[in-house]
Structure 1
Amino acid sequence: MAASAPTAGNSERVRLLGLLLKRRTVVVGLVVLGLIAALAILAPLIAPYAPNKLSVVNRLKPPGGTWLFGTDEFGRDVFSRTIYAGRLSLLVGGAVVVMAAVLGVTLGLCAGFFRRLDTPIARIIDAMMAFPDILLAIALVAALGPSLVTVIVALGIVYAPRLARIVRASTLVIRELPYVEAARALGVSTPRIMTRHVLRNLVSPILVQGTFIFAYAMLAEAGLSFLGLGVSPEVPTWGTMIAAGRQYIGQADWMTLFPGVAIVLSVLSLQMVGDGLRDVLDPRLRKDL
């Protein structure tokens, strides 16, 4: 009997993975996302030039053999800068997901499990979600000062209420289930109940919401960089590249085209993967597959 539980768990995971890979949109999203991640991670090996290498004599060169994506107003290679910028976008997205998960899950668990904390935490969550995401992020970055750490902290705070609300709603239901009541009756400690009996049943919605937050964070980081509130201007980001290309949109549209396409592909692929995870992990939606 002890050996059958892991086997059953493994077979269930394999079945869910099979259902996930049957969806063509998920496969396409994973392939595109994997390609973008590979280009970003291997940028030092793939990029033909350093991202900030100046060559004024080659400024505003159109895409061609030597310059795959063309050059910008300072003669910098747009292809090299685009794939290097992907590293920062993926870093910001991943760090924001981790921070939002830590804050959101902690707040949601406490609000849903402890009745006396529910009302104040719920009001804080509602108040934060009343503000548009980008406006709240701009306010936090402006107050703390623009930097990479500030952007991650600001976006983590902005997107934590999304997870907190989901975790709180699920915890309110799970804490009343018979197996949780049985654990209480047996004298199981509250932290153990929260982690082993409640949190373990919230992995699926947290995972699905995490993919969406990843996409939102990448898009928000590009928006902040576009407005000049992101990282240092010397660091290549898709937002700063698009902002710089606005002045040359008539004569060098490739300066905004390629970083814009990179943003669209990254966000769209994450959304497709998130939709597939939601359909597979939600038992109500899984029946339609």
Structure 2
Amino acid sequence: MASPTVAFLNRLFRRKLVLAAACVLLAFVLAALFAPWVAPYDPGALRVIRRLKPPSELNWLGTDEFGRDVLSRIIYGARASLGIGAAVVAISIAAGSAIGLTAGYFRRLDPPIMRMVDAVMALPDILLAIFLVAILGSSIFNVVFALAIVYTPRVVRVVRASALVVREQQFVEAARAIGASTPRILFRHILMNVTSPVLVQATFIFAYAVLAEAGLSFLGAGVPPEVPTWGEMIASAQQYADQAFWVVLFPGLAIVLAALSLQVVGDGLRDQLDPRLRKAL
């Protein structure tokens, strides 16, 4: 008999679209992890004599305005773009879960916490991120920190809404009756029962963070220019797009494929983790 994990993965990947999206996402992750061995050239090597060369046998995706191999820069760019996205997810989930549990379990703290969350969410995501990076300075750490602040409220709302329901369940009341400590109730009984919506939210935040990082880099408010990212590649090459479309097309496709695959996998997880949607499928 198959284990619950294997059975869940079989149901998840039964939909060919979700399986294809997972394969695309896995390819990006593997390319980022093994970039030094996968990339055909040094992403920072300048070959001015080969600037703006179209795709060929030597450079499968062409070269940019400095003669750098576009494919190699996309592969190394996956490290920064996906790495920033993963870091934003980790911080947002950790901070958002802690704040959301506090707001959902302690009734007196709920109103002030949620008013602050609403105030942050009232601001447009990208504008808030630009504002924070402008104050903190341009670096990978500051971009991660700014995007984590932007997306943590999303997790807070999800965890808080689930915690409001779970805290009224009989097993939580039984835990209180036998004298279980508040931290144990929060993390052992409530948090463990809100992991499904948090996991789904994590995939969406990952996609949003990848897009936001690309937007920040495109506007010049992201990571330093010497760090190859997909957004920075598009920003630096946009003036050459009319004579060398590949310098913009392929980094843009990488952003679209990564974000779309994350969204599709997130939709698949949501459909499988929600009993009502799973029954409909």
Q: TM-score, normalised by structure 1?
A: 0.95
The residue that corresponds to 1:26 in the other structure is 18
Letter of the 2:280 counterpart: D
Distance apart, 1:136 and its partner CA: 0.8
Match of 1:258 among 231, 237, 250: 250
Distance apart, 1:246 and its partner CA: 1.0
Aligned-residue Cα RMSD (Å) equals: 1.1
Pairing 1:95–2:87 present: yes
Q: For residues 146 and 172 of structure 2, what CA distance do their matches in structure 1 show?
A: 35
The residue that corresponds to 2:51 in the other structure is 59
Q: For residues 37 and 186 of structure 1, what CA distance do their matches in structure 2 show?
A: 46
Q: For residues 66 and 27 of structure 2, what CA distance do their matches in structure 1 show?
A: 28
The residue that corresponds to 2:170 in the other structure is 178
Match of 1:202 among 194, 209, 229: 194
Q: For residues 212 and 77 of structure 1, what CA distance do their matches in structure 2 show?
A: 31
Question: What per-residue deviation string (whole Å, max 9, x for no partner) do you get for residues 120-159 of structure 1?
Answer: 0000111111011111111111111110000000001100
Match of 1:218 among 186, 201, 210: 210
Distance apart, 1:162 and its partner CA: 0.3
Mapping for residues 223-238 of structure 1, pairs under 5 Å: 223-238=215-230
Question: What per-residue deviation string (whole Å, max 9, x for no partner) do you get for residues 6-49 of structure 1?
Answer: x9xx8433332221111111101111111111122111112121
Pairing 1:82–2:74 present: yes
Q: For residues 27 and 17 of structure 1, what CA distance do their matches in structure 2 show?
A: 10
Match of 2:106 among 114, 137, 140: 114
* Structure 2 runs not aligned, ≥5 long: none
Letter of the 2:188 counterpart: R
The runs of at least 4 consecutive aligned structure 1 residues that moved more than 6 Å come to none
Figure out how many residues of one structure are paired with residues of the other and give that number.
281
Secondary structure in 1 matching 2:36: helix
Letter of the 2:244 counterpart: A
The residue that corresponds to 1:4 in the other structure is none
Pairing 1:16–2:16 present: no
Match of 1:129 among 118, 121, 141: 121
Letter of the 1:196 counterpart: R
Q: For residues 266 and 81 of structure 2, what CA distance do their matches in structure 1 show?
A: 18
Pairing 1:36–2:43 present: no
Match of 1:155 among 143, 147, 150: 147
Asked if structure 2 preserves the Cα contact closer than 8 Å seen for 1:146 and 1:231, the reply is yes
Asked if structure 2 preserves the Cα contact closer than 8 Å seen for 1:30 and 1:273, the reply is yes
Secondary structure in 1 matching 2:168: coil
Distance apart, 1:229 and its partner CA: 0.8
Asked if structure 2 preserves the Cα contact closer than 8 Å seen for 1:16 and 1:281, the reply is no
Distance apart, 1:96 and its partner CA: 0.3
The residue that corresponds to 1:267 in the other structure is 259
**Stretch of structure 1 that moved more, 274-283 or 21-30:** 21-30
Once the two structures are aligned, what percentage of the paired residues are identical? Answer: 61
Asked if structure 2 preserves the Cα contact closer than 8 Å seen for 1:105 and 1:163, the reply is yes
Pairing 1:169–2:168 present: no
Letter of the 1:132 counterpart: P
* Structure 1 runs not aligned, ≥5 long: 1-6
Q: TM-score, normalised by structure 2?
A: 0.98
Letter of the 1:223 counterpart: G
Question: What per-residue deviation string (whole Å, max 9, x for no partner) do you get for residues 232-269 of structure 1?
Answer: 10111111110112101110110001100000000010
Distance apart, 1:98 and its partner CA: 0.4
